[in-house]
A and B are shown apart, each in its own frame.
Chain A
Amino acid sequence: MEDLWLQTVSILSATLRTATPLVFAAMAGMFSERSGTIDIGLEGKMLAGAFAAACVAVVTGSAWLALLGAILVGIMMGLLHGLACITYRGNQVVSGVAINIMAAGLTVVLGNAWFGRGGQTPDLAPDARFMTLRPPGWEYAYDIPIIGPVYAFVIGGHNLLVYIAFAAVPIGWWVLYHTRFGLRLRAVGEDPKVVDTAGISVTWLRYRAVIIAGILCGFAGAYLSIAQNAAFSPHMTAGRGFIALAAMVFGKWRPWPAMFACLLFGLLDAIAIRLQGVNFPGIGQVPVEAIQALPYILTVVLLAGFVGRAMAPHALGQPYVKER
């Protein structure tokens, strides 16, 4: 019983940890797509961010500079996406795919060239990372039944970026629905013509959106390489960018639902990890792959309109052209 509760607590705290990069990336995708620019490139931007963070951390030994580096790289990738999609009105999906593939290749090439180890970066010292923050008196709390562990491991016991991620959701929501920028952003995603005739620059609005997306992807990447782990390893995003995309779609392009989708997917992952190769008396092994595929299946089901319609921003994917 006690053990079961500990299990649950452990899974919950793991859920938060695994959901964090998803939340960052999902928010990134939301900002980009709410402005009408499809963002398939989350994965790539996250990966590049993770690599940048690890490199800077190795060189400077400062977690904060590393985070900054990740953000800058994220922004650069975002600007590239903007250049292709907004300025040159290229195919947004193609651009995203290009970014993913480039990131996958370049990170390993550079990493291997700079550090050897087949693309892995050297391990980081604690002060080059965002370490777990223990809530005051957690070790005593541990002994308090039920709530104790919750306090120690679910509420507390995470690194700074985790809290930033979950702060990003209300902030993102507030920006989107309570600021001028947000109003215009939502408008440009629905109908750029309207925004244009209202005397607002469509281009600049959309650029800001992809830049924000870049920043958030930087956070996501940094979390992977210098908070959750102590090094960058090749392809370490392992499809999280696409799960985040799925979560955003699942959340119908809205902050809170997207966050809950991330938590759900995080939970699934946390459970899947723990079930891997564990034999249950009688049942034997559970096919973990099924649980791992669940996020994608759920998203498809949603897209198919079987559980409510996912309404994408109306102008999503269409470059803004005045004169036909």
Chain B
Amino acid sequence: MPAQPVGNAESPSAATRPAAIELRGIDKSFGAVHANKNVSLTIAKSSIHGIIGENGAGKSTLMSILYGFYTADAGEILINGKPVKIHGSHDAIAAGIGMVHQHFMLVEPFTVLENVMLGAEDGVLLRGGAGKARAELERLARDYGLNVDPDAHISDLPVGEQQRVEILKALFRHCDILILDEPTGVLTPQETDQLFQILRALNARGVTIVLITHKLREILAITDTVSVMRQGEMVATLPTKQATREHLAELMVGRKVRLELDKTKATPGEVRLSVRNLTVVDAKGVKRVDDVGFDLRAGEILGIAGVSGNGQSELLEALSGIRPLSSGGITLCDLEVSPDAPYGPAVVREYGLAHVPEDRLRLGVVTAFPAWESVVLGYHDDEEYNGRILMDRDAMTNACGKLMERFDVRPRDPELRCGNFSGGNQQKLILAREIARQPKVLVVGQPTRGVDIGAIEFIHRQLLALRDAGCAILLVSVELDEVMSLSDRILVMFQGRIVGEVDGDEADERTLGLMMANAHAQADEAA
């Protein structure tokens, strides 16, 4: 990483106040993934401190360490100046830290009251505690406008209210440091504003607030200080006043060596994939994809930009037949798909759609399979791999060998278990598999997540080559410059909807960043 101009400089406003939290050289790895690299951070007392960063930057991990959910491999934590050993959440709670997790920590079948009490029951019996808890909840409701029916079951509550319960949980434990991990990811703009009012109210009463988010607008709207994380490192901390959207966006994305791809102008052909008013509702009844429509033509790359969690994944799954449609329709070449005409990944493949999934490890390969078996995943019924009864081992191994050759997969060993390939090489393997058959349509999710520069470039070239060969490619990625450098057209998704379309050549980080953070939404709300 090139050092950042601002570095870890303490912001004056923060410096004036004593530190509520101080993290020194926190380091954490999950197996091969290095989630936090020697992170240091100081959070001033009763300030609102924002942390931004791309997906996988390490924000949640860092906070989970502070909250004692994970234990750091190295580094120390100071609360109010005193070094503390946080072995588990109970230590963090004792130290006055409360956390609203990215994925809510609520017991679905329990009532609000039970959830709030859990771990802070006050006494062996529930009755006494319950009474007090009720009273306390009423008080909090009055003071902060956190109204929830204490006897409602979590599973019946909308996400917005569920989040209130999370906050109530923290307050109920009298926390004076409140961490919120991407609280607005699941909220409507209105809910978001309510949340911010609550946070301000809390802050006014001296509660230190740490807010994790992707959304520049929110950072600028509410925080005093902002820190930026990228790929496990803390790359900057600066007073929000001094921060501009552009600057933050830049810090967040980072100045990666812009790949100079000899990208020719696209020559779009016939429509291969046409999506009409596509809506996908998940098991919880939440609208993930909301009335999306677009055409994908042969020989073009259509990029979809957006902060993860805004419906891209669900869109991919719907297109590739893994997730059923709720309404609307898809036309894939000459296959008509509608909610009541069920179809599946196998059918979709037959009609020439190939899919490179976002979740490489869990979907893309069977980690326990050797390379040569994973290389036929999804195509295992093709006659080229099957004799009359038996599968043709040699055919598969040879095919695997060829693909490894062509896509430079290392180590070049068809017998190696997929789990033992590095992330980048797994990705190459999957791409190879999906591209090999000259698909009519290719749907790609996060093609270069956690992949090294060399591999990134290689993969990008392959995609372009495929496009020039006349394949229609839909590219979903959270890496802005990836989307920009590859796409001929770019759609931006926000909360399941398509909020804007930009032409590939005219796109620049700023405009896209604003769309992704849905700056326009403000205008809408104002209206």
Q: Do chains A and B touch in the complex (CB under 8 A)?
A: yes
Q: How far is the CA of A178 from the CA of B125 in the complex (A)?
A: 6
Task: Determine how close the nearest CB of chain B comes to the CB of A136; give it in whole angstroms.
Answer: 35
A184-B118, A199-B88 known; A322+B105 contact, CB < 8 A: no
Which residues in window 193-235 of A have CB below 8 A to B? 193-201
Looking across the interface, which residue of chain B has its beta carbon closest to that of A184?
Answer: B118
> Which applies to chain A's interface (DSSP): helix, strand, loop or mixed?
helix
Partner of B127, one of A178, A191, A197, A201: A178
Q: How far is the CA of A184 from the CA of B68 in the complex (A)?
A: 19
Is residue B92 within 8 Å, beta carbon to beta carbon, of the partner chain? yes
Looking across the interface, which residue of chain B has its beta carbon closest to that of A324?
Answer: B30
Residues from chain B with a CB closer than 8 A to the CB of A193 are 105
Cβ-defined contact, A190 with B110, below 8 A:
yes
Is residue B112 within 8 Å, beta carbon to beta carbon, of the partner chain? no
Is residue B341 within 8 Å, beta carbon to beta carbon, of the partner chain? no
Cβ-defined contact, B125 with A314, below 8 A:
no
Residues from chain B with a CB closer than 8 A to the CB of A191 are 105-108
Residues from chain B with a CB closer than 8 A to the CB of A323 are 30, 70
- Write out, one digit per residue, whether chain A residues 269-290 have a CB within 8 A of any chain B CB (1) or not (0): 0000000000000000000000
A194-B107, A197-B101 known; A179+B124 contact, CB < 8 A: yes
Q: How far is the CA of A200 from the CA of B127 in the complex (A)?
A: 20
Which residues in window 74-101 of A have CB below 8 A to B? none
Q: How far is the CA of A187 from the CA of B169 in the complex (A)?
A: 15
Partner of B121, one of A183, A314, A322, A324: A183
Cβ-defined contact, B90 with A178, below 8 A:
no
Is residue B117 within 8 Å, beta carbon to beta carbon, of the partner chain? yes
Is residue A181 within 8 Å, beta carbon to beta carbon, of the partner chain? yes
Is residue B126 within 8 Å, beta carbon to beta carbon, of the partner chain? yes
Cβ-defined contact, B108 with A198, below 8 A:
no
Interface centre among A180, A181, A314 (most CB of B within 10 A): A180
Partner of B108, one of A182, A196, A314: A314
Partner of A180, one of B30, B105, B125: B125
Residues from chain A with a CB closer than 8 A to the CB of B169 are 198
A184-B118, A187-B118, A191-B107 known; A197+B125 contact, CB < 8 A: no
Task: Determine how close the nearest CB of chain B comes to the CB of A89; give it in whole angstroms.
Answer: 17
Cβ-defined contact, A195 with B118, below 8 A:
yes
Cβ-defined contact, B99 with A197, below 8 A:
yes
Cβ-defined contact, A200 with B108, below 8 A:
no
Cβ-defined contact, A197 with B106, below 8 A:
no
Residues from chain B with a CB closer than 8 A to the CB of A324 are 30
Q: How far is the CA of A46 from the CA of B118 in the complex (A)?
A: 33
Partner of A200, one of B69, B90, B123, B129: B90
- Write out, one digit per residue, whether chain B residues 86-114 have a CB within 8 A of any chain A CB (1) or not (0): 00111111100001010001111110001
Interface size classification for chain B: 20 to 34
Q: How far is the CA of A191 from the CA of B107 in the complex (A)?
A: 6
- Write out, one digit per residue, whether chain A residues 303-323 have a CB within 8 A of any chain B CB (1) or not (0): 000000000001000000011
Residues from chain A with a CB closer than 8 A to the CB of B94 are 199
Partner of A183, one of B30, B68, B126: B126
Residues from chain A with a CB closer than 8 A to the CB of B106 are 191, 194
Task: Determine how close the nearest CB of chain B comes to the CB of A152; give it in whole angstroms.
Answer: 38
A191-B108, A197-B67, A200-B90 known; A180+B124 contact, CB < 8 A: yes
Looking across the interface, which residue of chain B has its beta carbon closest to that of A196?
Answer: B89
A178-B127, A179-B126, A180-B124 known; A195+B119 contact, CB < 8 A: yes
Task: Determine how close the nearest CB of chain A comes to the CB of B156; give it in whole angstroms.
Answer: 15
Q: How far is the CA of A198 from the CA of B99 in the complex (A)?
A: 10
Interface centre among B67, B68, B119, B129 (most CB of A within 10 A): B119
Cβ-defined contact, A199 with B117, below 8 A:
no
Looking across the interface, which residue of chain A has its beta carbon closest to that of B71?
Answer: A322
Residues from chain B with a CB closer than 8 A to the CB of A201 are 88
Q: How far is the CA of A184 from the CA of B120 in the complex (A)?
A: 10
Task: Determine how close the nearest CB of chain A comes to the CB of B376; give it in whole angstroms.
Answer: 26
Residues from chain A with a CB closer than 8 A to the CB of B99 are 197
Q: How far is the CA of A201 from the CA of B125 in the complex (A)?
A: 19
Q: How far is the CA of A55 from the CA of B285 in the complex (A)?
A: 59
Residues from chain A with a CB closer than 8 A to the CB of B88 are 196, 199, 201
Looking across the interface, which residue of chain B has its beta carbon closest to that of A198?
Answer: B119
A193-B105, A194-B107 known; A199+B127 contact, CB < 8 A: no
Q: How far is the CA of A288 from the CA of B446 in the complex (A)?
A: 63
Cβ-defined contact, B114 with A183, below 8 A:
yes
Residues from chain B with a CB closer than 8 A to the CB of A199 are 68, 88-94, 119
Cβ-defined contact, B89 with A180, below 8 A:
no
Q: How far is the CA of A165 from the CA of B274 in the complex (A)?
A: 66
Which residues in window 156-199 of A have CB below 8 A to B? 177-184, 186-187, 190-191, 193-199
Cβ-defined contact, A198 with B126, below 8 A:
no
Q: How far is the CA of A200 from the CA of B92 in the complex (A)?
A: 12
A199-B88, A199-B89, A199-B93 known; A187+B110 contact, CB < 8 A: yes
Task: Determine how close the nearest CB of chain A comes to the CB of B153; give it in whole angstroms.
Answer: 12
Task: Determine how close the nearest CB of chain B comes to the CB of A188; give it in whole angstroms.
Answer: 9
Partner of B126, one of A178, A187, A197: A178
Q: How far is the CA of A323 from the CA of B127 in the complex (A)?
A: 36
Task: Determine how close the nearest CB of chain B comes to the CB of A204; give it in whole angstroms.
Answer: 11
Looking across the interface, which residue of chain A has its beta carbon closest to that of B114?
Answer: A183
Cβ-defined contact, B114 with A197, below 8 A:
no
Looking across the interface, which residue of chain A has its beta carbon closest to that of B169?
Answer: A198
Looking across the interface, which residue of chain B has its beta carbon closest to that of A180?
Answer: B121
Q: How far is the CA of A232 from the CA of B110 in the complex (A)?
A: 44
Residues from chain B with a CB closer than 8 A to the CB of A187 are 107, 110, 114, 118
Cβ-defined contact, A183 with B117, below 8 A:
yes
Residues from chain B with a CB closer than 8 A to the CB of A194 are 105-107, 115, 118
Task: Determine how close the nearest CB of chain A comes to the CB of B128; give it in whole angstroms.
Answer: 10
Q: How far is the CA of A242 from the CA of B200 in the complex (A)?
A: 57
A183-B117, A194-B107, A197-B89 known; A322+B69 contact, CB < 8 A: yes
Cβ-defined contact, A198 with B114, below 8 A:
no
Looking across the interface, which residue of chain A has its beta carbon closest to that of B362?
Answer: A324
Partner of B124, one of A181, A186, A200: A181
Looking across the interface, which residue of chain A has its beta carbon closest to that of B94?
Answer: A199
Q: How far is the CA of A323 from the CA of B106 in the complex (A)?
A: 19
Cβ-defined contact, B30 with A198, below 8 A:
no
Cβ-defined contact, A200 with B30, below 8 A:
no
Residues from chain B with a CB closer than 8 A to the CB of A182 are 126
Cβ-defined contact, B123 with A198, below 8 A:
no
Residues from chain B with a CB closer than 8 A to the CB of A179 are 124-126
Residues from chain A with a CB closer than 8 A to the CB of B115 are 194
Cβ-defined contact, A198 with B118, below 8 A:
yes
- Write out, one digit per residue, whether chain B residues 34-78 have a CB within 8 A of any chain A CB (1) or not (0): 000000000000000000000000000000000111100000000
Task: Determine how close the nearest CB of chain B comes to the CB of A140; give it in whole angstroms.
Answer: 43
Residues from chain A with a CB closer than 8 A to the CB of B30 are 323-324
Cβ-defined contact, B69 with A197, below 8 A:
yes
Looking across the interface, which residue of chain B has its beta carbon closest to that of A311?
Answer: B109
Residues from chain B with a CB closer than 8 A to the CB of A322 are 69-70
- Write out, one digit per residue, whether chain B residues 338-382 have a CB within 8 A of any chain A CB (1) or not (0): 000000000000000000000000000000000000000000000
Residues from chain A with a CB closer than 8 A to the CB of B129 are 180
Q: Which 6 A-B pairs have the closest CB atoms?
A: A198-B119, A199-B90, A180-B121, A199-B89, A194-B105, A197-B105
A-B contact pairs, 28 of them (CB 8 A): A179-B125, A180-B121, A180-B123, A180-B126, A181-B124, A183-B126, A184-B118, A187-B114, A187-B118, A190-B107, A190-B108, A191-B105, A191-B108, A194-B106, A196-B69, A196-B88, A196-B89, A197-B89, A197-B99, A197-B101, A197-B105, A198-B93, A199-B93, A199-B94, A200-B90, A200-B119, A322-B69, A323-B30
**Apart from A196-B89, A197-B99, A201-B88, what are 12 other A-B pairs with CB-CB below 8 Å?**
A179-B124, A179-B126, A187-B107, A187-B114, A190-B109, A194-B115, A195-B119, A198-B93, A198-B120, A199-B119, A200-B90, A200-B118
